[in-house]
């Protein structure tokens, strides 16, 4: 079941890249970077290995190739630093970036699909990561069940 789900995500990669081209702007890139930081931090911390893995994911993931890799990584690191300063401030800043897409259904759905791909990129979309994506769905006023969460 989960393997089928992962395959669906991979199959949709090109489709998501095409969609991301429509939304290639700084706000969307920041929301993606914020989501990356939130998913990376799902277990309570972000270590150097997770940062490196996230950077590799950002560089390799087709849907994110519409942005300059260095810009996405820089934005990701900015959100990580906010979390390192304060969990509450980090989450507030990340949710602020994500929340800009509330009511923008196409962008919001693409953002959630990217979050799922991020969480599943290591082959283990764990419950902590799913909970973060559910929280993002709630912020975006989307039904998490539609995404099998």
Whether domain 2-147 has CATH 1.20.1540: no
Q: What is the pLDDT of residues 15-38, one digit of tens each?
A: 555 554 555 678 988 999 999 899
Residue 108, pLDDT score = 93
Per domain, the residue ranges of the chain are 2-147
Residue 60, pLDDT score = 76
Positions of the chain with pLDDT under 70: 1-24, 63
Residue 51, pLDDT score = 74
Which long-range contacts link 10-18 to residues 24+ away (Cβ below 8 Å)? Answer: 12/113, 13/61, 13/62, 13/63, 13/117, 14/62, 16/62, 16/63, 16/110, 16/113, 16/114, 16/117, 17/62, 17/63, 17/65, 17/66
């Amino acid at each position: 079941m989960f393997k089928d789900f992962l395959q669906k995500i991979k199959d949709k990669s090109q489709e998501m890249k095409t969609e991301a081209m429509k939304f290639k702007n700084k706000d969307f890139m920041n929301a993606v970077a914020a989501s990356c930081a939130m998913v990376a931090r799902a277990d309570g911390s972000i270590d150097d290995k997770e940062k490196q893995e996230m950077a590799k994911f950002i560089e390799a993931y087709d849907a994110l190739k519409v942005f300059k890799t260095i810009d996405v990584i820089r934005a990701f690191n900015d959100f990580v630093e906010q979390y390192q300063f304060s969990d509450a401030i980090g989450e507030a800043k990340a949710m602020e970036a994500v929340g800009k897409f509330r009511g923008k259904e196409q962008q919001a759905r693409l953002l959630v699909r990217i979050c799922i791909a991020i969480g599943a990129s290591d082959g283990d979309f764990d419950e902590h990561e799913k909970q973060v994506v559910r929280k993002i769905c709630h912020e975006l006023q989307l039904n998490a069940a539609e995404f099998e969460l």
